[in-house]
A and B are shown apart, each in its own frame.
Chain A
Amino acid sequence: MKYHKNIPQKVIHRYLRHDKKFPHVWCPGCGNGTVLGDILRAIYHLGLTKDEIVMVSGIGCSSRMPVYVDFNTLHTTHGRAIAFATGIKFANPKLKTIVITGDGDATAIGGNHFIHACRRNIDITIIIINNNIYGMTGGQASPTTAPGKFATTAPYGAIESNFDICNLAIGAGASFVARTTAFHTTEARKLFEKAFMKKGCSVIDVITQCPVAYGKRNNLSTAVQMLKWQKEQTIPKAAYDKIPEEKRKGKVIRGILHEDDKNEFTAEYQKLIEKVQK
């Protein structure tokens, strides 16, 4: 099958559930739809079948993604998507298991499951839709809200340090870690493709715009302004490595930040079964 370069909607349409679930719940200008499009195009490019894909999410705006797409889909409890996905993948390692989770879902309430999935290096792809805020509940601070930024629960500006999701994932042991944005759609698609094919735990931190809950409180009240920020303030790793220290301030690195080939959990368990059964 050839990719319809000029009519990308056609690609997306073949994966949507047309019978029930539209219109979607997202606000105009939200980045969630763009990221979903990138995920679907990556799936199309790789030629993965609908039946082999399981999409699991937690609770949040971004976690509503699975309901719209025609895969095996599971919308779980807040923060627990990765633990559910661990059960699915371990029960049937043939399933391509993709987790869609928000920054709050993955790193606050679900922080424990997140670091342990990385440590275990189980072969799932964790896509963190990072809008730096709790969108669904209306704009409370998240572990990725930067100091000084505003949220409904940080009316004087956040004073807590924020997580760098990629550093967290690398430190915890994930074997593929990357960052991209909703603006960089081609890059996102390619990174998703790599992540889906990577044997091991892959984590992608996708910076997205939430003009409604985040932007309007932080001088970025339109989606366009937020996308412009993503375009101008992020920089590919290779370029970042070359620029002098003083120019790095405020810049966010994109691209593959870590990759290794360490042992993957379900494969190791298979070896254990074979050893025990001998």
Chain B
Amino acid sequence: MSTVKKNNYTKTPVLMQGNEAVVQGALDAGLTFFGGYPITPSTEIAEILSAELPKIGGRFIQMEDELGSMASIIGASIAGRKSMTATSGPGFSLMQENIGFAMMTEVPCVVVNVQRGGPSTGLPTSPSQGDLMQARWGTHGDHPVIALYPDSILECYALTIRAFNLAEKYRTPVILLMDEVLGHMRESIILPPKDQLNIINRIPPNVPPEWYRHYKNNPKYISPLANFGEGYRFHITGLTHDEKGFPTQKLDEIQAKMDKLQNKIKDNLDDLIQIEDFYMEDAEVAIFAAGIVARSAKEAVKQARAKGIKAGLVRPLTIWPFPDHDVETMLETSKSIIVAELNQGQMINEVKRVTSHLPHKKFHKLQKYNGELITPEEILKKITEVK
């Protein structure tokens, strides 16, 4: 077990593991509650927080399973704490019902899934991007999700903070998808000065308790949020509910609730989407890749450019909602598109969907699901083949 490196936000680089960077990001974002159950390759997050949280008066609890972990962080968030859990594949599956509960009840919290090979117990310490669709559609029902996907240790830190901010702002669970390799890899990074961090906290209600509506629609979606125990007594239920939180069967109220869940994401894509384009200005061969695969792709793009091949990379930092519009415009001009992913094709269909109306696109898949990474050489080889 390791502990968080002391870095007083000077310009000194600090050697950090991805899982450590998630912890540091979470603490800097204001995390004071963690409930979890150990599972490789996410376990360090729980271990480090068990040591760090009591130091700041926070709370760490090792729950009896992942269903309980998810339940505990939702409960803690309802009682006013910024809360998080961390898990991997099988544990993420067990959390799904309660992730749906947090969606429906609009409770801010962060769920880290350091992906491993599956299905089932699969490959505990091998990388895989097999949970992209589980992150999107894992829980039952019909609702959007927010999932972020870092490709470096610094980004593990930054996107963890962003995950908390988006959770608080949009009152929803946010999923941080990680790759096993990033979770365990170490990089030397320079953390930003703490006073330059943009941290979003919940806004307390500014009306007397009798007027407070827990689910009042707000055009900006940055609605005041009361916590249990502060005098604003209200009801929270996973049943479809009205503005006050009471279960409803009324058609217009059901519709309004479902629309609210959908619209708070749909109407804020500009705020939610982050995407990187790398050498895309004149790219004839475009690679679409996320997370750890994007790192190999960047290297491959550089090598291809050195050989005079016009290659480029599109990398979503926000994987859900899928950056439809940006992907479409970025890929507009390139002739061939390589979608590289550590699974049997979960992202390629999304890319095809958003570019379907563009003429003469050639799609190439580069899929690896044997527990190994896709190397820059493999991507370069593909680029040379398809150029």
Contact = CB atoms under 8 A, between A and B. Distances in A.
Contacts of B72: 83-84, 86-87, 90
A51 B229 contact: yes
A274 to B, nearest CB: 9
Contacts of B172: none
Contacts of B61: 86-87, 90
B229 A83 contact: no
B63 interface: yes
A57 B181 CA distance: 40
Interface stretch (B78-86, B295-303, B335-343): B78-86
B30 interface: no
Interface string B79-112: 1110100000000000001100100000000000
Contact of B229 (A52, A86, A273): A52
Interface stretch (A91-99, A162-170, A222-230): A91-99
Interface in A148-189: none
B230 to A, nearest CB: 8
B368 interface: no
A272 B238 contact: no
Interface string B93-137: 000011001000000000000000000000000000000000000
Instruction: Indicate the member of B81, B228, B231 with the most A CB atoms within 10 Å.
Output: B228
A116 B68 CA distance: 10
B238 A75 contact: yes
A83 B83 CA distance: 14
Given A21-B246, A77-B98, A77-B101, A84 B74 contact: yes
Contact of A77 (B71, B76, B77, B80): B71
B204 to A, nearest CB: 15
Contacts of B376: none
A18 B31 CA distance: 37
Contacts of B229: 51-52, 54, 72, 92, 94-95
Contacts of B71: 76-77, 80, 83-84, 86-87, 113
A85 B77 CA distance: 11
Contacts of B201: none
Interface string B224-253: 000011110111111100101011000000
A21 B35 CA distance: 33
Interface in A248-278: 269, 272-273, 276-277
Contact of B97 (A54, A70, A77): A77
Contacts of B77: 87, 91
A244 B45 CA distance: 58
B68 A277 contact: no
Instruction: Indicate the member of A71, A85, A92, A272 with the most B CB atoms within 10 Å.
Output: A92
B75 A85 contact: yes
A73 interface: yes
Contact of B81 (A85, A86, A91, A94): A91
B57 interface: yes
Nearest to B65: A112
A112 B246 contact: no
Contact of A84 (B54, B75, B235, B242): B75
Interface of B: 33, 35, 54-55, 57, 59, 61, 63-65, 67-69, 71-81, 83, 97-98, 101, 228-231, 233-239, 242, 244, 246-247
Given A76-B101, A83-B67, A86-B35, 14 more contacts: A20-B242, A20-B244, A67-B246, A70-B233, A75-B236, A77-B98, A86-B71, A88-B78, A91-B76, A91-B83, A92-B228, A116-B64, A116-B68, A276-B55
17 contacts: A72-B233, A73-B234, A75-B236, A75-B238, A77-B71, A83-B64, A87-B33, A87-B71, A87-B77, A88-B76, A88-B78, A91-B77, A92-B79, A112-B68, A113-B67, A116-B64, A116-B68
In the A-B complex, the 6 residue pairs with the closest CB atoms: A87-B75, A83-B71, A87-B72, A91-B76, A83-B68, A91-B79
